[in-house]
Amino acid sequence: MSTSPTNNWTYLEPRPKSFYRQLFIKGTRIRARSIYGWYASEEEPMTAEQLAEEFNLPLEAVKEAIAYCESSPPEIEQDFRREEALMEATGMNDPNYKYHPSPKPLSPQEWARIRKL
């Protein structure tokens, strides 16, 4: 579960049934880290105003997502580790995956192990 106090955020909330433990923008499937990725992109960064317009979000929601990510909540790093473990376990990190894009099925035990990371 998220270790960030959710009561400090007006526009962010957890999604309990999601694979991800980081916070999402309320009422959407948009992870705060996704917003931050576009904001902090080295190639084509977007301003908070551009993101609010692009995703039809209140500007304050975008600013809150950015502030949340800049606070380095541990659940974002945990989500990254879980995602990497899932890609490794299913074979998606294999260099030949692009030629045969079929993820290996995982046992319930392997799923449980990855979810606990």
pLDDT the model gives residue 1: 41
Q: Is residue 31 part of a domain?
A: yes
Q: Are residues 13 and 67 in the same domain?
A: yes
Query: What's the domain range around 89?
Result: 75-116
Residue 87 has pLDDT above 80, yes or no: yes
Give 26-87 as a 3 state SS string.
CCCCCEHHHHHHHHCCCCCCCCHHHHHHHHCCCHHHHHHHHHHHHCCCHHHHHHHHHHHHHH
pLDDT tens column, 32-66: 999 999 999 999 999 999 999 999 999 999 999 99
pTM: predicted TM-score of the whole model, two decimal places: 0.81
Same domain, 10 and 67: yes
Burial of 14 (0-12, 13-18, 19+ CB in 10 A): middle
In a domain, 1, yes or no: no
Question: Is 68 found in the same domain as 22?
Answer: yes
8 Å CB contact between 39 and 28:
no
pLDDT at residue 52, as a whole number: 98
What pLDDT band is residue 116 in, cutting at 50, 70 and 90? confident
Q: Are residues 35 and 59 in the same domain?
A: yes
Q: Could you tell me if 25 and 56 lie in one domain?
A: yes
- Domain check: are 68 and 84 in the same one? no
